[in-house]
Amino acid sequence: MKKTKLGEFEELVLLTVATLQANAYGVEIKRELESRLNEKLSVGSIQSALKRMEEKGFLTSEFGETTLKRGGKRKRIYTTTSYARKVLAEMKEIRAGLWDSIEATVGAVAHELKVI
């Protein structure tokens, strides 16, 4: 399978879509990310990332039903693809390995300091 680069922000958006599942639409993705990152994000940055990831094959989208609450507008609901879930699992494994290496190095240094 072709490797496609996934930036940090794209990874966060993708993880948020996976977390929200059926509620993964623009405004809710923005709310969830802002809450977790504790910072303001623009709707445009979210929409751009969603569009890029859909083009790369990480996401699919479809329109939901119209609602009075949204003035008759339909939500575009995003869903992660199996490819996205595979890439996220690989990234999680890579990151975990790196963190384990850091912890092992710090642990070895701490042990050496105790011996001295």
Instruction: Please state the pTM of the whole predicted model.
Output: 0.81
Q: What is the pLDDT of residue 105?
A: 79
Return d(Cα 21, Cα 106) in angstroms, integer.
Answer: 38
List of the chain residues with pLDDT < 70: 1-4, 108-116
**Segments making up each domain of the chain, as ranges:** 8-115
The neighbour count for residue 87, using CB atoms within 10 Å, is 21
Cα separation, 21 vs 79, whole angstroms: 7
pLDDT for the residue 1: 46
Look at the domain 8-115 and name its fold: Arc Repressor Mutant, subunit A (1.10.10)
